[in-house]
Structure 1
Amino acid sequence: MTNLPVIVGFGGYNAAGRSSFHHAYRRTVLESLNNDKQQSTVISLASLMKLVRFENGVYIDRDENTLSADQVVEKFQSTIEQNTLIRRIHKAHFDVDKVPSTQDMRLESDHLSEFTIARRELPNPIPANWQVETLDDKSVKVVIGGGVSLKMESFREFDVQSAGILPTGFNPADEYNSRFHPKGLQLAIIGASDAINSMGISWEDMMSKVNPDEVAVFASSGLGQTDDYGVGGYMQARLKSSRPTSKQMALGLNSMPADFINAYVCGSVGTTGATTGACASFLYNLRLGVDDIKSGRHRVAICGCSEAPVTPEVMEGFAAMSALGTDDRLAKLDGTSSTDHRRASRPFGENAGFTMGESSQYFILMDDALAVELGADIYGAVTDVFVNADGYKKSISSPGAGNYVTVAKAVASAISIVGAETVQKNSFIQAHGSSTPQNRITESMIFDKVATAFDINDWPVTAVKAFVAHPLGPASGDQLANTLGVFADGIIPGIKTTYKVAEDVLDERLDILLKDKEVKMDVAFLNSKGFGGNNSTATVLSPDIVNKMLAKRYSKDELADYSAKLEKVRVKAADYDRKANQGDLNILYNFGTGIIEDHEILIDKESVQIDRFENNISLKFTNPYADMV
């Protein structure tokens, strides 16, 4: 019997807001929601963006005015809509009109030049045409004969001014004691906290049902931590007349999101891992969790990615590849002199390159037996994640054959579980949809060819990057969070930034949605095409399908007991959601507490016992090679 990997909690943050309880998803379909869900979404964002605070049962704005929920919506909805999703980069990230730079200068003179500087500022070695005269213990006079080379500080306007940045006013660093943490790791802490809190089951209660080594954390970032507190800082330190700190190298590693979650969020002694596959990194980590739960190697897995690549250096690197949509190219597409930053990402339309984003997305997977035992709320199941390379390539960044294989496998896998009719009538695609001219052609070709092979017509296709942009590693985490919202609310977000499907897109068998579509879906396919041939496609089942599967595996009494526990779990989860909507995000950050001391660890021939865990780690092994010994 194969364990079913079910999703029992999820959370994170991106340009659309907080992911748990479908808030970020609902921002992408805001105009299609009923009044209650619209209000909940707007209030969640108003609190997150520090537009209001909740005290003594009422909302209070920055001017100390008391507001009802209806008044919050009336006063702030427009502000919230303009300051979420893709938009012009805010100065809190960097000033796109005035990005620091340097300019080389060579000064030539027929006369001697002289100046006074501090002794400690003398270059080493001193140039041959410099004469140095000591003035006092600290100062020297320099006389230069001939020319001198200088580097002058300067500023420039940035070519790319759009990004999918976090909601304006929300700063992860303010949510916990985040001193010297790169932003990507700040996002890891708050994203994993949101996912764990969303379960409605305390981490301790869950751990009492499993062995400590039956838990895994698989998380990474595609590029590592690229801001001043990570890789960016130590790579530039000497060029900025500074020096690296003791933390920048370690905190800059792309494995650090998993390490931070283990060390500061859940205190795990189970398996840890960080797999990267460029833009498919999230699905690579999800695959580890899914495969381990299916095999029984682990019973719980936290899978995710965090990335904060909206920095001048990272964006300029992608722009040099002509991968990003510059302001100039976007304006030319529209035949205007100004750029519509809100529509920078236009999957499957006439587009000019992808848009950078930032995101943190985490999911709690359990085997179905543990979920039933605990009464966990099941948001869906991931049955397979397929990964295939492209074979020989001419250009390392170009798409290739591997994605045909992953999509075909994902569809065939789903059909083997739920049947062809369900896939043909009730499945949809979360496309990679990077908004590049090459992607719109190649990805639509793949979908069209697979649809033909499996006799699928009018296959719904959406692309969440239209709303939250491309955060690299976590990109498919955005897709999965959005998909769970589709399962819950029955609305597939239309690609509303694309006004018309481009003529070179192959969509004969596809329904590329440009408007929100209300429809019940049972299966989703998450597709990712990463640089270097890192192709991955995941098969995700709706909670309705999962419940039907559980009904065949468990007795009526077992399911009745599960339902009773589920009601209590949902009450606890809803309490967290209510408090989070009021500004209390309950960040789980345990620095310097709960450290396991050597004297707490006992080892005998059968087990390893650690005092703070209720269950032991078994050392009972059978010989898997008995037939060879």
Structure 2
Amino acid sequence: MVVTGLGAVTPLGVGVAELWQGLLDGRCGIRELTGEEFAGLPVRVAGVVPVDVAGLLPRPQARRMNRAARFGVLAAREAWQDAGFDAAGAEGAGLDPARVGVSVGSILGDASVLVSADRALRERGPRAVPPLTTPMTVPSQAASQISLDLGITGEARTVTSACASGTEAIGQAVDRIRYGYVDVVVAGGAEAVVTPAIMAAFAAMRALSSRGVGEVSPSRPFAKDRDGFVNGEGAGFLLLEAEEHARARGARIYCEAAGWGLSADAHHMAAPDPSGKGIALALRRALRDAGAQASDVVHVNAHATATVEGDLAEALAVRAVLGGGVPVTALKGHLGHLQGAAGGVEAVATALTLCHGVVPPTIGGTERDQDPDIRLDVVRGSPRPLPDTGDLALSNSFGFGGHNAVLALRRVRERA
């Protein structure tokens, strides 16, 4: 299985080019929430997409999509076209639509639709509730709208595994191709949960950073003064296909989708297992599925949400499986935590790291600020050349309830 297309909508902008350049430049897409609905909240910063994406779609189509689905359709379209397929969709690209699939990770999708409907019901009565509220509320709306947009009939699946959703969706797509169910899958994650109720709920858990927007990102992965994650939104997708399928059509290949691993902490409904054992199991399973050893790993794109317990548990697991010398980067200082979309966007960045041979820096602190208990080689300050000694990169995602997912991507030395 290989990656032949990439697409993204993130707090750094619309498109993969905006994401990649923003990561390399160390830009921060976290902003102050100035809307009236956020007034009075204890935390008013988030990683929000800086463009009105509804304006990038035909108005009738946009009106039938929730915000997460709009992100998803735009990112999936970009991945589709980046892979060299016709904009008209599966049939226009000469594909059998029944041999093409969609796999999307999403926790809630867009929580604001149901909130708006409930407000309309209370204020103006049942006739004021929009008739498309239900299909626009379900987490599967992004997968449905992507399949509609690209004329994909093979399958349109949705994975909900908390913040591991996007990575698990990609892993399941790898298996669907591996076992011959489909030849091509658009896989990733889409989420839009920067809403007052969600922000207030996360703040009540004391999960969010209390910092405001400043010269240093309020999200500070692996820093000794980290104090919580920053909520975010967006979408990221890979176009996956069987290698023989890609090479037969002369496609450009970013990297190989080599394998993936899952595990569960079985520890707590929200807190990670502080030992990191569950994370370590997912890492080992990803290596085994990829037919690789720890010495093959040249890069880890860390989940690293900038929570005290979560970052430490991940560091313990990485050291236990890989040692402390592998270059690690964490992107949530740039983007915030994109929830179900985090794994999709971070997989896009990992694929680009392998393709270009460059590791983006982690922002939200300097070398002096790093927690001495982390003991990882966290890339900070400026991009770093990828080591030439191995071929594998791991992209980590972990979620509330103990969901652990790790994607293994392999560098392709000679791309078609």
1:462-484 deviations in whole A, cap 9, x for unaligned? Answer: 10111011110010112111112
Q: Report % sequence identity.
A: 25
1:482 and 2:349 are equivalent in the alignment = yes
Deviation at 1:459, TM superposition (A): 1.3
Query: Which of 50, 53, 63 is the aligned partner of 1:172?
Result: 53
1:14 and 2:17 are equivalent in the alignment = no
TM-score computed with the length of structure 2 as normaliser: 0.90
Query: Which of 396, 413, 436 is the aligned partner of 2:269?
Result: 396
Written as runs of structure 1 = structure 2, the 5 A alignment for 1:221-240 is 221-227=106-112, 230-240=113-123
Written as runs of structure 1 = structure 2, the 5 A alignment for 1:213-252 is 213-227=98-112, 230-243=113-126, 244-252=129-137
Deviation at 1:541, TM superposition (A): 1.0
Query: Which of 194, 197, 221 is the aligned partner of 1:347?
Result: 221
1:515-570 deviations in whole A, cap 9, x for unaligned? Answer: 224223532101111001111011011232x74xxxxxxxxxxxxxxx5xxxxxxx
Deviation at 1:158, TM superposition (A): 2.3
Written as runs of structure 1 = structure 2, the 5 A alignment for 1:99-178 is 99=38, 156-167=39-50, 170-176=51-57, 177=59, 178=62
Aligned residue in 2 for 1:506 = 374
1:479-499 deviations in whole A, cap 9, x for unaligned? Answer: 111112222333212212122
Q: Distance in 2 between matches of 1:512 and 1:387?
A: 24
1:518 and 2:393 are equivalent in the alignment = no
Aligned residue in 2 for 1:357 = 232
Larger Rg: 1
Q: Distance in 1 between matches of 2:101 and 2:122?
A: 40
1:341-384 deviations in whole A, cap 9, x for unaligned? Answer: 75110000111110011111111111011101111111112111
Q: Distance in 2 between matches of 1:219 and 1:301?
A: 10
Deviation at 1:236, TM superposition (A): 3.2
1:428-486 deviations in whole A, cap 9, x for unaligned? Answer: 111111011111211111111112xxxx4511111011101111001011211111222
Aligned residue in 1 for 2:150 = 266
Q: Is contact 2:72–2:235 with CA below 8 Å preserved after alignment?
A: yes
Deviation at 1:6, TM superposition (A): 0.6
Aligned residue in 2 for 1:119 = none
In structure 2, stretches of 5+ residues that fail to align are none
In structure 1, stretches of 5+ residues that fail to align are 32-80, 100-155, 332-338, 548-562, 564-629
- Secondary structure in structure 2 of the residue aligned to 1:24: helix
Written as runs of structure 1 = structure 2, the 5 A alignment for 1:333-482 is 340=214, 342-349=216-223, 350-391=225-266, 393=267, 395-400=268-273, 401-414=277-290, 416-417=291-292, 421-423=295-297, 427-451=298-322, 456-482=323-349
Q: Is contact 1:216–1:271 with CA below 8 Å preserved after alignment?
A: yes
Amino acid of the residue matched to residue 539 of structure 1? A
Q: Is contact 1:348–1:505 with CA below 8 Å preserved after alignment?
A: no
Aligned residue in 2 for 1:121 = none
Q: Distance in 2 between matches of 1:212 and 1:303?
A: 15
Bigger RCO (CA 8 Å, 6+ sep): 2
Aligned residue in 1 for 2:192 = 308
Q: Is contact 1:448–1:506 with CA below 8 Å preserved after alignment?
A: no
Written as runs of structure 1 = structure 2, the 5 A alignment for 1:6-155 is 6-20=2-16, 22-30=17-25, 85-89=29-33, 91=34, 94-95=35-36, 99=38
Q: CA RMSD in A?
A: 2.2
